Amino acid sequence: MRRNSHRPQYVFWAAAVLGFRILLPGALPAAEPKPATAITRAANERYLAQMPFADEADFADARRGLIAEGIATIRDARGRAVWDLSGYAFLNDAGAPPESVHPGLWRMARLNMSRGLFQVTDRVYQVRGYDLSNIGFIVGDTGYIVIDPLVSSETAKAALELVYEHVGKKPVVAIIYSHSHVDHFGGSLGVAAEAEVRAGRVRVIASEGFREHAVSENVMAGNAMTRRSTYMYGTVLPLSPRGKVDDGIGKGISSGRVTALVPTEYVTATGQELTIDGVKIVFQLTKGTEAPTEMNFYFPQFKALCMADNCLHVMHNLYTPRGAEIRDAKAWSAFLNETVELYGDKTDVMFAGHHWPRWTSARIVDMLKKQRDLYKYIHDQTLRLANQGYTPAEIAEQIALPDELAREWYNRGNYGTLRHNIKAVYQKYIGWFDGNPANLDPLPAQESARKYVEFMGGAPAVLEKARASFAKGEYRWVSQVVNHVVFAEPDNRDARELQADALEQLGYQAESASWRNFYLAGARELRDGITKVATPQGRNPDMIRVMTVEMIFDYLAVRLNGTKARGKKLVFNWNFTDTKEQYVLSLENCALTVLTGKQAADADVTLTLARTALDEMLSGGTSLVTVLASGRIKVQGETRKLVELFSLLDDFDIWFNIVTPHGHKRKSV
């Protein structure tokens, strides 16, 4: 176990960069969703005969150990609801699934309605249904060990208060982050204060690389992820049987204050043991699985196993549609196999970062093995067909899970899907190019769309044929072919309406919450234009403060407009008086590069400053000129060169087009 010498800090981390906004978008003017067609109704009805809906063991497990339901609505200090399950009241109907929702997804949406304080086993508790993820509480000798403190500090605090009310009031002595996704650390300040960490009263434990991945996975492409997240998590969709019903791994994402405490200790090896407040914990590192840095951990005193997000009651994502690094299916399978070997015969209960626990060793091992084989099957069969020359789209059409895997509810695609996971495996090994030279350098979407429409006889002819295809239930084809018309003629209302109708039916048939939300969000945007909702900004002081200087300079490089930088050469020395760090930041050949621990003799500008001054300079709350005029930065050389550098940086607009061509003037509501 390594101690981290950095002073603990908290930040509004990933809400700023992932675009996680609100659970309920509120009343927004929008066209009414249309009903399910007869073809969609028939497709959903067929699924009812394919799966064992009479088996309600998961419903019993989801309610097992319930101590108190707690509250459905959680508010911030201003009284604003940051979490509210009341809009999902329609899910309390235990009758047949609505025609507009895939039966398997409806089942999961109802399971995810279980909320409150649950006892998992002796001294192990969870609060579920207070955010997208679960928060765990282990009772130590003198206090609580908290596992994964949710997305927002308000929801985490509410969960802690529920534990105080029904289990007893004790101090929090440690926080464990299972991995680097925001829903597992964002509520840190709701359960502990920075001063307590700084004083050594609260330990914060994560796997090696947590800080770097929590920032880098989300910041470098954060603006694009933010925008796409509004689709994946159904941010602007109404909550209804024709709108959002679930997110697959939970109901939604809270909209409170997203914070983090920087780890004080890191786990660096599988088998590493740690005793916290009388509780022994054995760790298993699982890098490259559901997150770049992740870990499972076992509590031998309680025979309890925490699986982070590595084994949930769904097929997970090897590629997440909001955008992220491809995950390693082979490694994921191997780590699950290792889990079985390490802990399978020693475990009485398994719990995780989402969903409900699973009890008894035999049932736990069965689930671990079948999820192990799920990811291995996807990996191996994809490469088998890739090695025969099949393309990603062709492979996705051919592979089906064998019954022994497919008929397990926890292997169903309520979150990740078989089709996009197959394409993820292909991309990891072979990349985006399918080998056909026609696809090596295709025309951009808008230009090719215009030519497609021209070749097909013009927009009216395309739409006439597409309407006939829609009547046959060929919704995938309709959305694909009419997309050409939308990109060729983005103001063609008939085309937008027809593509929206097709996407809507695909959403109603989708087993995956993510796919449903994507389809329905696209349909809504085609009909009503972009719905702008308030989203936190990545360039906030807290986000910047947690980043290393190298991370900051790397992000500036991403923002550099290469066209504007042509022909320019600038060199800057940076000297930080408080951290004693030195850097050279150079602009040359339209690229921004950094050297650590160096100073350039030929620098245009040498800056001497405290790290806090850099944070202020970049936060957006104070202008560069104001910071320079404050006297907090000593500048040797030409100040105008620094101003020139900052003039070359782009600011990103989150609300770029997705379902219409980039740059097309978009309607907003």
Distance CA 570, CA 636 (A): 14
Task: State how far the Cα of 605 lies from the Cα of 603, in Å rounded to an integer.
Answer: 5
In this prediction, residues 647-666 reach a mean pLDDT of: 87
The correct CATH number of 548-647 out of 3.30.2350.10, 3.30.1050.10, 3.90.1300.10, 3.40.50.620 is 3.30.1050.10
Helix/strand/coil for 258: coil
Taking a C-beta distance cutoff of 8 angstroms, is the pair 462, 484 a contact? Answer: yes
> Topology of domain 2-268, per CATH?
Metallo-beta-lactamase; Chain A (3.60.15)
Q: Rounded distance, CA 428 to CA 317, Å?
A: 13
519-537 mean pLDDT: 82
Q: Which of 271, 299, 287, 277 is nearest to 1 (CA)?
A: 271
Indicate the domain borders of the chain.
2-268, 548-647
Return the minimum-mean-pLDDT range out of 5-9, 444-448, 485-489, 558-562.
Answer: 5-9
- 360 and 348 in contact (C-beta within 8 Å)? yes
Distance, in Å, from the CA atom of 97 to the CA atom of 552, rounded to the nearest integer, reads 49
Confidence of residue 12 (pLDDT cuts 50, 70, 90): very low
Asked whether residue 541 carries a pLDDT value surpassing 70, the answer given is no
What is the pLDDT at residue 426? 98
The average pLDDT across 327-344 equals 98
- Give how far Cα 281 sits from Cα of 145, 334, 346, 364, Å: 11, 22, 14, 19
Assign 95 a pLDDT band (cuts: 50, 70, 90): confident
Q: Is pLDDT of 238 > 70?
A: yes
> Over 90: is that where the pLDDT of 390 sits?
yes
CA torsion 113-114-116-122 (nearest 10°) is -150
pLDDT tens sequence across 148-201: 999 999 999 999 999 999 999 999 999 999 999 999 999 999 999 999 999 999
Band of residue 218 on the pLDDT scale cut at 50, 70, 90: low
- pLDDT value of position 272: 98
Tell me, what's the pLDDT at 69?
97
User: Which pTM value belongs to this model?
Assistant: 0.93
| For residue 286, pLDDT beyond 80 | yes
Distance between CA atoms of residues 1 and 192, nearest Å: 22
Dist. CA 107–CA 36, nearest whole Å: 18
The mean pLDDT of the chain is: 91
Judge whether 399 and 385 are in contact, CB under 8 Å.
Answer: yes
Give the whole-angstrom CA distance, residue 6 versus residue 303.
Answer: 34
Pick from 427, 355, 408: which is nearest to 128 by CA?
355
Confidence of residue 3 (pLDDT cuts 50, 70, 90): very low
Regarding beta strands 295-299 and 582-588, do their DSSP bridges make them parallel or antiparallel, or are they unpaired? unpaired
